[in-house]
Amino acid sequence: MTTALSLTIDRTALSLAPLVIPGTPTTDNPFWIPKGGIGRPDFTMRLGYAPDSRWVPGKVLLDAVLEASSLPVTVWIDRVANLAELQTSRRELEAAFSQFTYTVTVTVGGQVESWQADPTWPAWGSLRHELVDELVDRADLVIPVNP
């Protein structure tokens, strides 16, 4: 059984519909996330303590809040007709993830989690001949997210 997975990037600031990237290749979408190609944000706690005191032992916790984290994602581009379409798909991905702020949503088996995201840029890696010949490319992203 395969559990449905998708990543949705809000593109309201670009006056575009959301970009939905599925977890499996489809015929109508050049983007997809491979198995093991998406992680979860590893949020940590940011703790604030009172200044050290000569009269109070240890540390006195004053506040605790979740810290920002990141969402690692790998996106493949394929099922394009030519190099121009491949380049257009690259630019579409770059524009979506480089927005000033946006909402990113991960859906797994109908369960939805959303976070406010900051801009990032896809790491395309080296230009590999076998990928160019097959009209395929791969982007690795580390999306900064806030709880």
* Domains located in the chain, CATH noted: 5-40+67-146 (2.40.30)
Question: Quick one: average pLDDT of 36-48?
Answer: 96
Q: What gap in Å lies between CA 41 and CA 102, rounded to an integer?
A: 16
Residue 1 reports pLDDT greater than 60: no
> Judging by beta carbons within 10 Å of its beta carbon (0-12, 13-18, 19+), is residue 25 exposed, middle or buried?
middle
Q: Residue 127's pLDDT band (boundaries 50, 70, 90)?
A: confident
b or e along 52-80 (b: 16 or more beta carbons within 10 Å of the residue's beta carbon)? eeeeeeeeeeeeeeeeebbbebbbbbbbb
pTM of the model: 0.88
Closest alpha carbon to 35 in 5, 59, 7: 5
Closest alpha carbon to 109 in 6, 2, 34, 4: 4
What does 53-70 look like in DSSP terms, one character per residue?
-SSS-S--EEEEEEPPEE
Q: What gap in Å lies between CA 96 and CA 57, rounded to an integer?
A: 50
Question: Quick one: average pLDDT of 16-32?
Answer: 95
Longest dimension (CA), the chain: 73
* DSSP conformation class of 35: T
How much is the mean pLDDT over the chain?
Answer: 94
Reported as a single tens digit per residue, the pLDDT across 49-100 is: 999 999 989 999 999 999 999 999 999 999 999 999 999 999 999 999 999 9
pLDDT of residue 125: 86
Closest alpha carbon to 111 in 20, 38, 5: 5
Identify which has the larger pLDDT, 21 or 1.
Answer: 21
